[in-house]
Structure 1
Amino acid sequence: MNWKFSPNKSDVNKKKKTKKREWFDAVIFAVIAATLIRVFFIEAYTIPSGSMEKSLLIGDYLFVSKVNYGARIPITPIAFPFAHHSMPVTGTKAYWDGVQWKYRRLPGLSDVKRNDVVVFNLPVGDTVALENQEPSYYNLVRESGWSVVNSQYTITSRPVDKRENIIKRCIGISGDVISMKGGVVSVNGKTEPLKNTGQMPYKIQLKTPDVNFDVFKELGFTVNEMTQIDADTYIANATPEMTDKLKSLDFIKSVDLSVKPETADDGDLFPLDTNRKWNVDNFGPIKIPAKGWRVQLDSHTMPLYYRAIRTYEGNKVEKKGDAWYINDKPATTYTFKMNYYWMMGDNRHNSIDSRYWGFVPEDHIVGKALFIWMSWDKGASFFHKIRWNRLLKGVN
């Protein structure tokens, strides 16, 4: 008996995919896969400024883990792939904020811990002057006035997950009491001196001005950034390890931290309260809000927690006479809905951080910095641009 295969009619009618269609499908699959990896697992990040020196340098390229703290479900789900808040060429919005989801986060491997290096959305990045590089619209308004800023610049608002990404070190977690005196941070009453991953300005006095500054270079100093006070005195950024080695040299007279006195008032620090005369080296104590913590509302606490209650947690906050009203109801206390953190740069005198804009809410946390996969020194010669000693180096 002869059997003859009879093809299915639908098979006969099927058209073979063209090369263009195959390429299109492959590209779509690759974009979807890369987007899922970027959103839920790991993302590349570039260090744009020197606020984290010596631990992280300008030109370091990092991988940031979304898994460690739990990936944040996109709050603004409709967005152009691989763009953050602006399109690369046109500068227009790379997202549509017509759809906004509530803050949710997948389970993570751990909570944010003290001394973690964290990438997060800039808390004061909710309002932006597009043509100005100043990261805080609010600083611009304080400096120039509302009418000037709003007439000279294009002002836009951004949802939480589309605010500028920045990287700092977590100095305090929710519930901690943090302060700083003489340039040294204290957490819950215990001093936490700066580790060798960060730097502070030091006043260096020499016994003689006749010094070979190559010695400073060998110890890690950036000689062209050292400020000369007089013939024998310089101000230079350094780590504790660098200063310990410097003190052992016979031409060094003294090495001391160069910090602001407690009486100095920087004026533009958080919480912008005229009753608090704080500066970058001396502030606090401040209690960092924790989910479920109830704070008493009065003239002392409201400057610290007003923005967290109103802006980050979405409440209507008003003062009528001497009384505070939250969502049109009189309130003497408030219970926080989220955990908060205190972030600071390792390069303590060259960092705009929580000392300027306060607490970082948990819904702003992006991920934990893991390791450097590439480091590029733009100022070096062609054959020395790659910092080979930093490749695949973990972030501590």
Structure 2
Amino acid sequence: MEQRLFIAACVMYAFTWLTRWLKRKEKINSRRAFAWWHTVFTVIILSCVWWVFAFIMGEGGLAPIPVWKKCAAGIITLGLAVYGYKRALQADTPRQQKIMKEDLDWANTVYFAGFVASLVMFFLVQAFKIPSASMENTLLIGDHLFVNKAVYGFRVPFTKKHFLPFKQVEREDIVIFTFPATHKEQINCGGVQYGKDFVKRVIGMPGDKVEVRQGRVWLNDEELSRQPYERYEELERVPKEGEYDMAEYQALWKTHRLDNELGMELRDNFGPVIVPENTYFVMGDNRDNSCDSRFWGPVPRENIKGKAWFIHWPVSRWRIIK
């Protein structure tokens, strides 16, 4: 989201700079040239708006945008562009100056707001919407929350590098991260997860030995006590099919291929594996309905964007996230 805002802001800044240059060179003084300039402005600003809102309407890239919404956006853009062209073509010189001032005011507003918002989202806080039931009952479908992006260190824009951390990732932190896919066609949990943001709770730290037996989590050969945030369902557990070569098992897990080999067995009987250096083992609080590290492997530190901080919508669920 922050990258889209930053790019949209750069586009609008470039347009305002180009407009001032064209004006100095008297390239847009004629009615027809001015009308085309105004039309291009209308298309650019609407395209930036649709591009940013497409990310929001698609729940951060997790849900496809319906075709009818794409068609509606295209029709609205085309209609406003045609209207703007005719309006500018009929304008006299004073009217042209007024239209240009309005357009540049809008462009200045968009690029300034875009730069400020993108900087805040790059370094401090980002909004996130819960798309699935994997964190119930801690986080519910449709919860809107703020993510603290500074707590684990400021991220260098357009990279995964962090600096000046206030704290390190700790066990039981609820973190937001980019899915650790190695290529765009990678299939996990029945679909392509590349580029999507996930929210899970940290269970295993680097070097920990993690295992799941009959649905219960074991850490370093000790069963973890059940926590209030954990949710289980009364269901028949999937049995373990057999014994595996643990070196091969670990390799498949680290390279995000284990679920394609063993499927739903991993929900109830998993491991043991050793969490590699600079990675974390994460799980959903809704243990029986979560696509998590049991299926697709460890989360690299560099993929973690921040810590879930505060539910701000709906109002009835305002709370600090723990």
- Give TM-score scaled by structure 2 length: 0.59
Among 47, 51, 62, the residue aligned to 2:134: 51
Per-residue CA distance 1:72-99 (angstroms, 9 max, x = gap) = 2233xxxxxxxxxxxxxxxxxxxxxxxx
User: Residue 369 of structure 1 aligns to a residue in which SS?
Assistant: strand
1:111 aligns with 2:168: yes
Cross-structure match for 2:69: none
Cross-structure match for 2:233: 201
Classify 1:140/1:40 alpha carbon distance in 2 versus 1 (closer, same or farther; 3 Å).
same
User: Residue 113 of structure 1 aligns to a residue in which SS?
Assistant: coil
Classify 1:275/1:165 alpha carbon distance in 2 versus 1 (closer, same or farther; 3 Å).
closer
**Distance (Å, rounded) in 2 between the aligned partners of 1:389 and 1:264:** 47
Among 146, 153, 166, the residue aligned to 1:63: 146
Cross-structure match for 2:258: 272
1:125–1:164 CA contact under 8 A, matched in 2: no
1:187 aligns with 2:126: no
Superposed CA RMSD in Å reads: 3.4
Classify 1:165/1:125 alpha carbon distance in 2 versus 1 (closer, same or farther; 3 Å).
farther
1:263–1:277 CA contact under 8 A, matched in 2: no
Percent of aligned positions that are identical:
35
| Shift in Å, 1:175 | 1.4
| Shift in Å, 1:104 | 1.7
| Shift in Å, 1:36 | 0.3
User: Residue 280 of structure 1 aligns to a residue in which SS?
Assistant: helix
Classify 1:261/1:19 alpha carbon distance in 2 versus 1 (closer, same or farther; 3 Å).
closer
Per-residue CA distance 1:345-392 (angstroms, 9 max, x = gap) = 1111111111111111111111100010003xxxxxxxxxxxx4312x
2:189–2:291 CA contact under 8 A, matched in 1: no
| Shift in Å, 1:178 | 1.0
1:184–1:191 CA contact under 8 A, matched in 2: yes
Cross-structure match for 2:293: 354
Cross-structure match for 2:44: none
Matched length: 215
Cross-structure match for 2:304: 365
Counterpart AA for 1:137? I
**Distance (Å, rounded) in 2 between the aligned partners of 1:48 and 1:24:** 33
1:201–1:259 CA contact under 8 A, matched in 2: no
Cross-structure match for 1:175: 207
**Distance (Å, rounded) in 1 between the aligned partners of 2:153 and 2:188:** 31
User: Residue 181 of structure 2 aligns to a residue in which SS?
Assistant: helix
**Distance (Å, rounded) in 2 between the aligned partners of 1:180 and 1:74:** 37
User: Residue 223 of structure 2 aligns to a residue in which SS?
Assistant: strand
Among 174, 178, 187, the residue aligned to 1:137: 187
Of Structure 1 and Structure 2, which has the larger fraction of its residues in strand? 1
| Shift in Å, 1:140 | 6.1
**Distance (Å, rounded) in 1 between the aligned partners of 2:264 and 2:130:** 32
| Shift in Å, 1:272 | 3.0
Counterpart AA for 1:110? K
User: Residue 363 of structure 1 aligns to a residue in which SS?
Assistant: helix
Classify 1:263/1:174 alpha carbon distance in 2 versus 1 (closer, same or farther; 3 Å).
same
**Distance (Å, rounded) in 1 between the aligned partners of 2:231 and 2:290:** 11
Counterpart AA for 2:311? I
**Distance (Å, rounded) in 2 between the aligned partners of 1:275 and 1:370:** 35
**Distance (Å, rounded) in 2 between the aligned partners of 1:74 and 1:109:** 18
User: Residue 217 of structure 2 aligns to a residue in which SS?
Assistant: strand
Cross-structure match for 2:275: 288
Counterpart AA for 2:274? K
Counterpart AA for 1:106? F
Unaligned runs of 5+ in 1: 1-16, 76-100, 129-135, 142-154, 203-234, 236-257, 291-338, 376-387
1:264–1:277 CA contact under 8 A, matched in 2: no
Per-residue CA distance 1:45-64 (angstroms, 9 max, x = gap) = 00011011111100100100
